[in-house]
Amino acid sequence: MLKMVSILCTFVSGSLLFFAWSGYLEKEFEVDEYRGYVIEKKNIELTNDIGTFLVTQPSHKIKFSDGTELVVPYSIYKKIKENHYTVIIKQKDNMTILK
């Protein structure tokens, strides 16, 4: 009886672990792809009110020919040129330009 319970517990814990990891891995490898001609580059200063202080943060946006707007880091913002075909891959917080 004890052997049957230990096998059952091992099977249940293995099944739960499999389903937990399968959801994690699916989210880990999720990739968004943005492609098209960049028709506009915007460099905006955002102002945040923190109590008695005003803090400004730069925000870099690009707009594709299909109307999609994307907030990009400054390093990518510098490399992108207007009216050029661009492919950007986004995975979680990481962005990469494909050539």
Burial class (CB in 10 A: 0-12, 13-18, 19+), 36: middle
For 6, 26, 38, 49, 93, the CA distances from 13, given in Å and listed in that order, are 11, 20, 50, 48, 32
This prediction's pTM: 0.67
pLDDT, tens digit (0-9, with 9 covering 90-100), for 76-99: 999 999 999 999 999 988 999 987
Residues in the chain: 99
Predicted pLDDT of residue 80: 93
Average confidence score pLDDT of the chain: 89
Alpha-carbon distance of 91 to 47, in angstroms, equals 27
**Model pLDDT, residue 71:** 94
Give the tens place of pLDDT for each residue, 47-63: 888 888 889 999 999 99
pLDDT at 21 over 80: no
DSSP state, residue 84 = S
